[in-house]
Amino acid sequence: MNTVHTITQLRAAVARARQEGKRIGLVPTMGNLHDGHLALVQKALQSTDYVVVSIFVNPLQFGPSEDLDSYPRTLAADQSKLLDVGANLVFAPTPKEMYPDGMDGHTRISVPLVSEGLCGASRPGHFEGVATVVSKLLNMTQPDLAVFGKKDYQQLAVIRKMAQDLCMPVQIMGEAIVRDADGLALSSRNGFLTADQRQIAPRLYQVLVQIAEQIQGGRRDYPAVLDGARQHLIDAGMRPDYLELRDSVTLNPVGADSKQLIVLAAAFLGTTRLIDNLGFELN
C-alpha cells in the first residue's frame, strides 16, 4: 500500500491501475479510522480491484465554533489499519494542496432542498463544504464506485443528489452503520466522551429503536411519539439538537404514501455532538 500527498501523484497511481484494467473504488474519510470506516473499505474491495482511501480533515465543512483544531489526526495509525484491511492507496493531502488559493474565493457546490433542515439547519455551510470536497475527490480520482456510511444519512443523500445532478459517472454506495455491542454508532467523535458519558451515549440508539417499535406497532401520532422520545433523551442527560421522522427514500417529511421511514437524531452529550438514524418499514 502506498501513500501519496499530491493530486499529481494520486492521478498517476490511479492511471496505472486503470491501464492494468482495474476497477477503481474510493472511500473518502477524515481519518482517525475505526471499524466503521474499515467496513466501507471492505465493501469497496468487494466491488472493485483498486481502492483509494482519502484522509483529509476538510476545513471547508467546519463552522467557526466547531472542532476543526481538535479533530483527531492519526495518519500513522490509519495507514496501519488500511494496510491490514487491504487498501491499495492512501491519499493524504494538505489543505494547501486541496485549496491552493485559499478557501474564501474557492468555487463551492450547493445542493438545495436535500441539504436543508436536520444537520443542514444546525451546521450552516456544512453540506456546501462536504459537496465541494467530495466533488473534488471524485474528479481527482474518477472512481467507478465511491462508498459512504449511512450514519451520516443526510450527507449520503446530498452526495447522491450532487452526483446525479452533475452527471458524474460514479456509483455512490451507502454502507450500513457499524455499532458497538451496546448499540452506539461508531464515530471518531466518540473519543471525546468521558467514561460516564460513554455509558449514557447508547441511549440515543435505544430511543430510535423505541420510536420505530411504537410506529410499527400502529401509532400514527408522530409528533407525540417524537416529543416523548425527546424527553427521554433529556432525562438521560442529553441535549437534543433534532429528532425527526422522514421518508427514507426522498428525505422529505413523511407523507400519506410513505412506506420506508427513517428517524434521524442529533444530540449533544456534554460538548460532543452525536448523530444516528434508524430506517424501518411501515407494516
Domain map (residue ranges) of the chain = 2-175, 188-281
Q: Report the predicted TM-score, pTM, of the whole model to 2 decimal places.
A: 0.95
Q: Which amino acid is at 91?
A: F
Phi, psi of 10 (to 5 degrees): -60, -50
Residue 45, helix vs strand vs coil:
helix
Which residues have C-beta within 8 Å of that of residue 9, sequence separation ≥ 6? none
Instruction: State which fold the 188-281 domain adopts.
Output: Pantoate--beta-alanine Ligase; Chain: A,domain 2 (3.30.1300)
61-65, 183-187, 211-215: segment of lowest average pLDDT = 61-65
- Our CA angle for 204, 66, 244, nearest 5°, is 35
The question of whether 37 is a catalytic residue gets the answer yes
Q: How far apart are CA 214 and CA 280, in angstroms?
A: 11
pLDDT at 283 over 90: no
pLDDT at 173 over 90: yes
pLDDT at 170 over 90: yes
Instruction: State which fold the 2-175 domain adopts.
Output: Rossmann fold (3.40.50)
pLDDT at site 70: 86
Catalytic residue among 37, 106, 126, 232: 37
Strands annotated E in the chain? 2-4, 24-29, 50-55, 89-91, 145-149, 171-175, 239-247, 260-269, 272-281
Q: How far apart are CA 1 and CA 88, in angstroms?
A: 5
Q: To the nearest whole percent, how much of the chain has pLDDT over 90?
A: 95
Q: How far apart are CA 125 and CA 250, in angstroms?
A: 21
Q: How far apart are CA 163 and CA 171, in angstroms?
A: 9
Q: One fold for both 2-175 and 188-281? A: no
Which DSSP category does 63 fall into? -
pLDDT at 14 over 90: yes
Q: To the nearest whole percent, how much of the chain has pLDDT over 70?
A: 100
